[in-house]
Amino acid sequence: MINLETPRKFRAFVNQAHQVAAEMLRPNSRRYDLAEHEYPVELDMLAAMVDGLGASGTGSGAGASGVRRSASDSASGDEVVNGSNLSSVLSIMEMCWGDVGLLLSMPRQGLGNSAIASVASEEQLRRFDGVWAAMAITEPDCGSDSANIQTTAWLDGDDYVLNGEKIFVTAGGRCDAVVVWATLDKTLGRAAIKSFVVMKDTPGMTVERLENKLGIRASDTATIRFENCRVPRENLLGTADIDQGFAGVMQTFDNTRPLVAAMAVGCARASLELTRDLLAEAGVHVDYDRAVHLQPAAAATYLAMEADWEAAYLLTLQAAWMADNARPNSLQASMAKAKAGRTANDITLRCVELTGSLGYSEHELLEKWSRDSKILDIFEGTQQIQQLIVARRLLGKTSAELK
C-alpha cells in the first residue's frame, strides 16, 4: 500500500534539492527569464554535484534520468518499492519550486534521458551514460497526435537515414544528443514509429533556430532539421520489430508525464506559499480552524486552491509509485499530468489576481510563475489529449474507437 509520507531514505535528498532551489535556482530565476538565450553557467556546477551524488550512491534519481523500470525496482509479493520514479518526482517538485526553466536546462536531465532510461537496452544505457539528451517529437504538421509523425527513417546498410523537421525541442540547442521519433514506414501507421538517439555532431542534423517564448525562458527551445542524417542502427532504442508496435515508444510517456506533473506541482506550491505570505502582510489570514464561508473571500479562494493542489500532488505520487512497483500506470500518469497541468495554470493565475499589482509586476515572481506554468499544461501531451487517454482507459476504447 502506498504511504503518502516522503520515504525516509529520500528525505535528505529532497532537502538537498530544496536547498539548491532556494539558494541557486530562485535567486537566478529573474536573470535568465530576462536573458532568454543566455546559458545558465551556474547549472554546470549543479550538474557536477548531482553526478557526484549519483556516483557516491547518495543520489536517488535527480531528475529525468532516474525513471527506468527494472526488476530491482519491482515489488515481489507484498513488498513495496519506493524507487527512482518516486524520488525523481519528489526532487523535481522541489527544484521547480525554485524555477521550472532552469530545471529543464540542467545538463543530463533532459526528457530524452527519460526516453533512454525507459526503453534502452543495457548496452545502450552504458553507451549513452552521461549524455545530455533532448526529445524531439513535435513537427510542424504533427502536434498532439504523435502517431501521425512524418519524419522518416529508412535502413541503408548499417545506418538509418533520417529526414524531417522537429519543432519545440526542449534543450535542443544545448544538449549532446536528441531522441528523435520517426517512422520506418508511413503506410503502417503508429506501429512503425520508433525512437533514435542522434548525437549533435551528426552530419545532416541542423539546429535551425531557437524560439522566443512566453515562459520557461531560461530553457532553450529549438527547431531541428534532419536531411539525409545517417544514424547507426544500434542507436535505435528498443527493437525495430514492427510487431512490437507503438507501445514501447509510448512507454516513455508513462514515465515522463508524472515528471511534468511534478514540475506543475512544484511551481504551483511556490505561488501558493508566496501568496499566503503576501495576503498575511495585507491583513488577510487563512484560518484552517474556521469554516470557509466565515472567512474573507481571498482566504476562501486560497483554501480552494490548496485543496486542488493537494489532489494534483497525490495523483502525481500515485503515478510514480505505481511505476516503481511495476504496475501499469498509463491511466494514472495521464490523470496526474492533466490534473497538475491545469491546476498549476489555475493557481498561478489566481495568485496573480489575489495579490493585485504585486502579482502583476516584476517585484515578485508570481507573474513569471503564471507564464512558466502554461507550458506544463501543453507539452508531453496537452490537457485535451490527456482527457482523451483517460476516457479511453476508463471506457475500454481503442484510439480508433474514441478519437
Q: Which residues are catalytic?
A: 380
Residue by residue, DSSP assigns 81-112 as ---HHHHHHHHHHHHHHH-HHHHHTSTT-SHH
Q: HEC states along 173-206?
A: CCCCEEEEEEECCHHHHHHHEEEEEEECCCCCEE
Contact 121, 128 (CB under 8 A): no
Q: Which residue reads 541503408 in cell numbers?
A: 156
Q: Which residue reads 542507436 in cell numbers?
A: 235
CA dihedral 394, 398, 402, 403 (to 10 degrees): 120
Contact 264, 376 (CB under 8 A): yes
DSSP 7: P
The Cα 260–Cα 285 span in angstroms is: 31
Give the contacts of 133 (CB within 8 A, at least 6 positions apart).
110, 111, 112, 113, 115, 116, 175, 176, 177, 178, 179, 197
The C-alpha angle with vertex 293 and arms to 288 and 297, in degrees rounded to 5, equals 85
Contact 195, 249 (CB under 8 A): yes
